[in-house]
C-alpha cells in the first residue's frame, strides 16, 4: 500500500445508482483488507483503544472505542457528481491527524473496517437502500465479537459511522441490502435483529452475490 493513496473513478452520469454501487463494492473490500494488514493502521487502532482506557479482552469496549473515534474524528463531505473517491485507511488517518479530514460513507466504512480488522475483528459492509425507493444509496459497516456479548450475543453488529449520535448497534432505516464482506468466510451469523429493519428482498440479493452461501445468516428484524 502506498502512503496517502487516493483512487478516483469517473462514472457515467446516466449510470443507475444501483449499478454504481455494484461497481464499487469490490474496491471497498480490497481497501478494507489492505487497511487491516497495514501496520500503521494497527498502531492507530491500538492507540485509540489504549487512549479510551479499554482493558485487554474487552471486545465490545474495543469496538465501541473504534466506532466513537471514527464518528468524532472523520468529517463527512459529499463528492462531486459522477466521481467516486476512495481513500486508503492510511491516508484517512493522516488527513485526520493533519486536520483536513473529508470523506463520504465509503471512506468511513474503509477506515472503521480497517481499524477493527487490524485488531482482529471480522468486518463487512452493507450497501443499503435507506430511503425505501429501491435504490442503493448508503454504505454501513458490520462487525462482530468472537465471544458472545451480553448486549449483542453472537450476532453481527451494525456500525453506523457517519452519525456521531448513533450508538453501537443503531442504524439508519434499511429496506434492502447488498452485503459484501472483507474476509467473507467469517460471515456465519445473523445481523443483530433489533437494529437492522426491513431487509425485504435480501434473499434474492444474496442469491446473486458471490458470497451468498456465507451470507445466508442475515435475517430481517421482526
Q: Where are the alpha helices (DSSP H) in the chain?
A: 17-36, 39-51, 59-73, 89-97, 105-118, 202-208
- In a domain, residue 220? The reply is no
Q: In this predicted structure, what is the pLDDT of residue 1?
A: 47
199-214 confidence digits (pLDDT tens): 333 333 333 333 333 3
Fill in the DSSP letter of residue 183. Answer: S
> Is the residue at 38 inside a domain?
yes
Position 203 scores a pLDDT of 36
Nearest-10 crossing angle of helices 89-97, 39-51: 50
Instruction: Give the total number of structural domains in the chain.
Output: 1
Does residue 46 contact residue 115 with C-beta atoms inside 8 Å? Answer: no
What's the pTM? 0.77
Residue 63 has pLDDT above 90, yes or no: yes
> Tens of pLDDT along 135-174?
667 888 989 899 999 999 888 888 999 999 999 988 877 6
**Residue 172 within any structural domain of the chain:** yes
Question: What is the extent of the structural domain holding 11?
Answer: 6-215
Give domain status of residue 90, yes or no. yes
Q: What is the pLDDT of residue 136?
A: 65
Q: For residue 158, what is its C-alpha cell? A: 451494525
Q: Rg (Cα) of the chain, in Å, rounded?
A: 16
Predicted pLDDT at 201: 35
CA distance from start to end of the chain: 42
- Closest to 153 (Cα-Cα) out of 144, 164, 162: 144
pLDDT-derived band at 125, boundaries 50, 70, 90: confident
pLDDT at residue 85 is higher than 70: yes
Question: Residue 137: what pLDDT?
Answer: 72
Give just the sign of the alpha carbon dihedral 8, 158, 186, 137: negative
Measure the CA–CA gap between 92 and 180, rounded to whole angstroms.
21
Task: Let me know if residue 135 belongs to a domain.
Answer: yes
CATH number of the domain that residue 141 is part of: 3.10.620
pLDDT of residue 103: 92
The predicted pLDDT at position 58 comes to 97
Amino acid at each position: 500500500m502506498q502512503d496517502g493513496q487516493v483512487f478516483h473513478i469517473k462514472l457515467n452520469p446516466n449510470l443507475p445508482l444501483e449499478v454504481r454501487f455494484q461497481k464499487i463494492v469490490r474496491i471497498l473490500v480490497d481497501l478494507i483488507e489492505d487497511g487491516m494488514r497495514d501496520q500503521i493502521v494497527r498502531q492507530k487502532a491500538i492507540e485509540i483503544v489504549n487512549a479510551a482506557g479499554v482493558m485487554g479482552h474487552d471486545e465490545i469496549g474495543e469496538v465501541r472505542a473504534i466506532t466513537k473515534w471514527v464518528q468524532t474524528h472523520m468529517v463527512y463531505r459529499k463528492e462531486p457528481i459522477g466521481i467516486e473517491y476512495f481513500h486508503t485507511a492510511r491516508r484517512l488517518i493522516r488527513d485526520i491527524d493533519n486536520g483536513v479530514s473529508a470523506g463520504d460513507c465509503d471512506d468511513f466504512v474503509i477506515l472503521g473496517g480497517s481499524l477493527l480488522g487490524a485488531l482482529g475483528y471480522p468486518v463487512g459492509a452493507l450497501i443499503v437502500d435507506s430511503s425505501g425507493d429501491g435504490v442503493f444509496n448508503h454504505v454501513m459497516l458490520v462487525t462482530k465479537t468472537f465471544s458472545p456479548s451480553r448486549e449483542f450475543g453472537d450476532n453481527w453488529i451494525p456500525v453506523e459511522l457517519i452519525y456521531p449520535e448513533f450508538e453501537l448497534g443503531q442504524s439508519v432505516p434499511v429496506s434492502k441490502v447488498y452485503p459484501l464482506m472483507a474476509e467473507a468466510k467469517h460471515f456465519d451469523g445473523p445481523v443483530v435483529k433489533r437494529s437492522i429493519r426491513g431487509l425485504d428482498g435480501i434473499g434474492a440479493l444474496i442469491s446473486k452475490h458471490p458470497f451468498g452461501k456465507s451470507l445466508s445468516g442475515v435475517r430481517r428484524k421482526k
